[in-house]
Amino acid sequence: MTLWARRPATLEPFADTPAKVAESPAELAVASDLVCLCVVGDADVDEVTRGEHGLLAAMKPGSIVAIHSTGHPDTCRDLATKARAHGVSVIDAPVSGGGAAAAEGRLLVMAGGDAETVERCRPVFETYADPVVHVGEPGSGQTTKLLNNFLFTANLGVAATALSLAGALGVDPERLAEVVVRSSGNSFALNALRGIGGLDRLADVAGGLSQKDIRLVVDLADRAGASGAGAGAVLDAADATLALMGHPR
């Protein structure tokens, strides 16, 4: 195991482990047959993989880059094309679940790319993820993750509105939530709001990321001509959530 991070403080918890630390992405690439990259978005993927000191310049033929970030499918497809010239494979493998799930080995990995390459990565992914789902061709992992986040964002607004309505109608929102989590109206979004203390608190943590993801979904839908009435209704709900979070699309 070799580690590299843009922020040195990220590596401090691993100081007393057998893991080695690389001084640059290129040094990491030389030491690795599989590089699992987890950064924020498309620009960050480009920063780490390209250029004189980037991953691609130094990776050995036959090695693999797995993109665990959430971004545009075209970024992974474009990177895969460029990597192929170096004899390197790329799969998009965004994750869901957060830090607690990673520590417990129960992240969800949704992988897009060549099936054989995904299977080569599976033993590594399974050290921190369960399940690992191969969802299709390159880029399909990102599309799957973005659609999941699209639905979650829309559900957040619906849940927050229901809790707000409860107060306006004379019902304690916490009592409503206590009932709903045991009833047919339960949702992951409602539980997330309860766990973090409301939409305002969640906005501080994830508002910008939600905005980024909805913009990407809209771009994909527009390109595919799939912005029909049904998609529009969900988009309206997602936009309402972003507005409530102070991060309008």
Q: Fold for domain 2-138?
A: Rossmann fold (3.40.50)
When the candidates are 2.60.120, 1.10.1040, 1.25.60, 3.40.50, the CATH number that belongs to 143-244 is 1.10.1040
CA 224 – CA 58 distance, rounded (Å): 36
**Number of Cβ atoms within 10 Å of the Cβ of 28:** 22
Task: Write out pLDDT tens, residues 178-234.
Answer: 999 999 999 999 999 998 889 999 999 899 999 999 999 999 999 998 877 678 889
Task: Write out pLDDT tens, residues 64-120.
Answer: 999 999 999 999 999 999 999 999 999 999 999 988 899 899 999 999 999 999 999
Please give the backbone phi and psi of residue 95, each rounded to the nearest 5 degrees, phi first.
-120, 160
Task: Write out pLDDT tens, residues 206-215.
Answer: 999 999 999 9
Active site residues: 145
CA 50 – CA 43 distance, rounded (Å): 11
What is the location of CATH 1.10.1040 in the chain?
A: 143-244
Q: What is the pTM (predicted TM-score) of this model?
A: 0.92
**Non-local CB neighbours of 236 within 8 Å, separated by 6+ positions:** none
